[in-house]
A and B are shown apart, each in its own frame.
Chain A
Amino acid sequence: MHIMEGFLPWQWCIVWWIAAIPFLVMGTIQLRRIIRKDREYLSLLGVCGAFIFILSALKLPSVTGSSSHPTGTGLSTMCFGVFITSIIGAIVLLFQALLLAHGGLSTMGANMVSMAIGGPLAGYAVYYLLRNTRVNIYITVFIVTTVADLVTYIITSFELAIAYPAQTGGILSSFEAFFIIFAVTQIPLAIIEGCVLTLVFKYIVALKSDILIKLNVFSEDQISRASHNEDQIVHLEIQ
């Protein structure tokens, strides 16, 4: 769900670009530091960026009858952090605009603030709070991805509301209107994306858990505990 080219007045395009630039600068500095430390991260980040692009181009199965696309930023923010995710998100948004005609260049600042910065920031805050607790890692992944998705929609509604305040009730009323329109489809879709990415995480734990240990997403102990629980479930199912 991106704001399309030309939909926002130019003053708001500038405001959102200014808001996004510090994150891009910080992301570039962090990217440079990571690459200097370990050269192989560049190619790994590159393929992960391509993965997020493909993820966002695939249609998500929907119970509401409509269809939408996963953002994938929740998974990225847990693996690489907020600043790197903002860089990957910005590249994905640029390619979506130029290869698929989704979003735009003038509205890219606003789309970055919602999808590549705001959503991941909220997701990372939840991840930071839950990662060292006794909460199951799959529940953590579900909450992080759902929150990242929902915050993306909330910020997009806010961006539209302040650009087009309603005659009666102003920004608040306009925000309410935009959010209700999005909520009908986006809340179920955010929950479905949470379920999908939790299952994705489950497959990664089962088949290639060393990726998650290398990226320090969860501790070795947490991952082995999660895969041990899975083994027990499989064992019970076989019995």
Chain B
Amino acid sequence: MIDANLDYIAQESAFRHIHPGTKLFLALGSLILCLISPTPVVPLISGIIMSLVLILPGRLSPAQYGKILLGPAIFIIMSTIVLLFMLGGGNVIWRFQPVPLIDLSITTESVRISTLTLCRVFGCSVSLFFIALTTPMTDLFNSMKRTRVPIELIDLMMIVYRFIFIFYEQAVEIWQAQVMRLGYSRPTEAVRSFSRLCGMLFISSWNAGEDLVRAMDCRCYNGIFPSLDLAEPIKIKSLITVTIYLAALFGILVVMTPGIMVFL
């Protein structure tokens, strides 16, 4: 089920009224810098700073933020353990050979790559969360319109977005009714109940689509959904702050990467 809907948090964010372009510039800029960084320092610094920005001036509850980070954290810890044993190169730090065919070893190179991956996932995930936790989807649709994304795609996204919450409520209601009637008490019963839930959802979604067509026709739909763009104008002060932050992060990347000066 949907445990945490980030869009609700974005609507309440203290950064809600900053121009989406500035927020996207900051988040995508730091995401790219974290991604290309060959050292774990840059994503680590970016992740910590962006988290502090979200919690302190962004007024996001630390408990809520921790809960959001927990999902990717479990996955990345498991993946790092796999990488630690699978990758090789360098000197062997630790070796375990329970039976002749199984040889588990950790090397210096596997530790380096695993640490880099761990920090990169942290830095990039926080950058993604920055967009998700500060910019509501409606603002992103307006930004897409300004960047000339095909209008059909944006309209399709808007319909999908509109109906996600309606169907989710329907699904939860059916789910709860089924649970109350012991619909998930046995594995075979669970498969049958779940199939009925999905089947009913598909049919009701189709009916909702047909109703939407009629409703749009009544309102003279001519292929374009006009929507009100209430974005605040770009503020030079916030844009300069973001540019300085990204330039500083890039500076750290250059300093920490031997050999990068050759390309610059």
B201 to chain A, nearest CB (A): 6
Are A54's CB and B190's CB within 8 A?
no
When distances are taken between beta carbons in the complex, the residues of chain A under 8 Å from B155 are 42, 46
Residues of A within 8 A of B160 (CB): 46-47, 49-50, 53, 91-92, 95
How many residues from A make CB contacts under 8 Å with B? 70
Docked CA distance A70–B75 (Å) = 19
CB distance from A121 to the nearest CB of B (A): 21
Assess the A60–B194 pair: CB atoms within 8 A.
yes
Identify the interface centre among A48, A95, A101: most chain B CB within 10 Å of its CB: A101
Q: Contact check, B223 vs A39: say whether CB atoms are below 8 A apart.
A: yes
Q: Could you tell me if A101 and B75 are in contact, using CB atoms closer than 8 angstroms?
A: no
- The segment from A128-136, A198-206, A224-232 that touches chain B is A198-206
Give the interface SS of chain B, mostly helix, strand, loop or mixed.
helix
- Selecting from A15-23, A111-119, A161-169, the interface stretch reads A161-169
From known contacts A6-B43, A6-B121, infer whether A54 and B35 are also in contact, taking CB-CB under 8 Å: no
Q: Is A151 at the interface (CB under 8 A from chain B)?
A: no
**B198 and chain A: residue at smallest CB distance:** A200
> Assuming the A-B contacts A35-B152, A101-B128, A204-B199, are A50 and B35 also in contact, with contact meaning beta carbons closer than 8 angstroms in the complex?
no
Within 8 A of A (CB), among B168-196: 168, 171, 175, 184, 187, 190-192, 194-196
- Known contacts: A4-B75, A35-B152, A95-B160. The answer to whether A199 contacts B128 by CB under 8 A is no
A174-B86 in contact (CB<8A): yes
Closest to A13 in B: B35
Q: Which of A179-208 contact B (CB under 8 A)?
A: 181, 192, 195-204, 207-208
Q: Do the beta carbons of B87 and A51 come within 8 Å of each other?
A: no
Chain B residues within 8 Å of chain A by Cβ, number = 84
A44 beta carbon closer than 8 Å to chain B: yes
Task: List CB contacts (< 8 Å) of B29-77 with chain A.
Answer: 31, 34-36, 43, 68, 71-72, 75-76
Give the CA-CA distance A199 to B196 in the complex, in Å.
7
Contact check, B34 vs A6: say whether CB atoms are below 8 A apart: yes
Q: Please determine whether A43 and B213 come into contact, CB atoms closer than 8 angstroms.
A: yes
Closest to B165 in A: A50
Query: Looking at the complex, which of B15-23, B204-212, B244-252, B255-263 is the stretch in contact with chain A?
Result: B204-212
Across-interface contacts of B195 in A (CB, < 8 A): 195-200, 202-203
With A6-B34, A46-B209, A101-B132 given, can you name 17 additional A-B contacts, CB distance below 8 Å? A5-B124, A5-B127, A6-B31, A6-B125, A40-B213, A48-B205, A48-B209, A95-B137, A98-B7, A98-B132, A101-B72, A101-B125, A102-B71, A105-B28, A166-B88, A177-B82, A199-B195
B157 to chain A: which residues have CB within 8 Å?
91, 94-95
Tell me whether A28 is interfacial, beta carbon within 8 Å.
yes
Cβ-defined partner of A46 (8 Å) among B76, B117, B159, B194: B159
**Is the beta-carbon distance between B191 and A192 smaller than 8 angstroms?**
yes
Hey, which chain A residues are within 8 Å of B43, CB to CB? 6
Asked if A44 and B194 make an inter-chain contact with CB atoms under 8 angstroms apart, the answer reads no
Contact between B35 and A6 (Cβ–Cβ < 8 Å)? Answer: yes
Tell me if B14 is interfacial: C-beta within 8 Å of chain A.
no
What's the Cα separation between A39 and B13 when bound, in Å? 37
- In the complex, which residue of chain A has the Cβ closest to the Cβ of B120? A6
The answer to the question of B236 belonging to the interface, with a C-beta cut-off of 8 Å to chain A, is no
Q: How far is the CA of A4 from the CA of B36 in the complex (A)?
A: 16
Determine if B137 and A50 form an interchain contact, defined as CB atoms under 8 angstroms apart: no
- Minimum CB distance partner of B222 in chain A: A39
**Residue among B31, B124, B129, B201 making CB contact with A54, cutoff 8 Å:** B201
Residue of B88, B128, B199, B202 near A97 (CB, 8 A) is B128
Chain B residues with CB under 8 A of A196: 191, 194-195, 198
Task: Identify 22 residue pairs between A and B in the complex whose beta-carbon atoms are under 8 Å apart, listed by A's number.
Answer: A10-B35, A42-B155, A42-B156, A46-B212, A47-B160, A47-B167, A50-B159, A50-B167, A91-B160, A94-B157, A99-B5, A99-B7, A100-B2, A101-B68, A106-B31, A166-B86, A166-B87, A167-B110, A196-B198, A199-B192, A200-B198, A204-B202
Our pick among A31, A48, A98 for the contact of B131 (Cβ within 8 Å) is A98
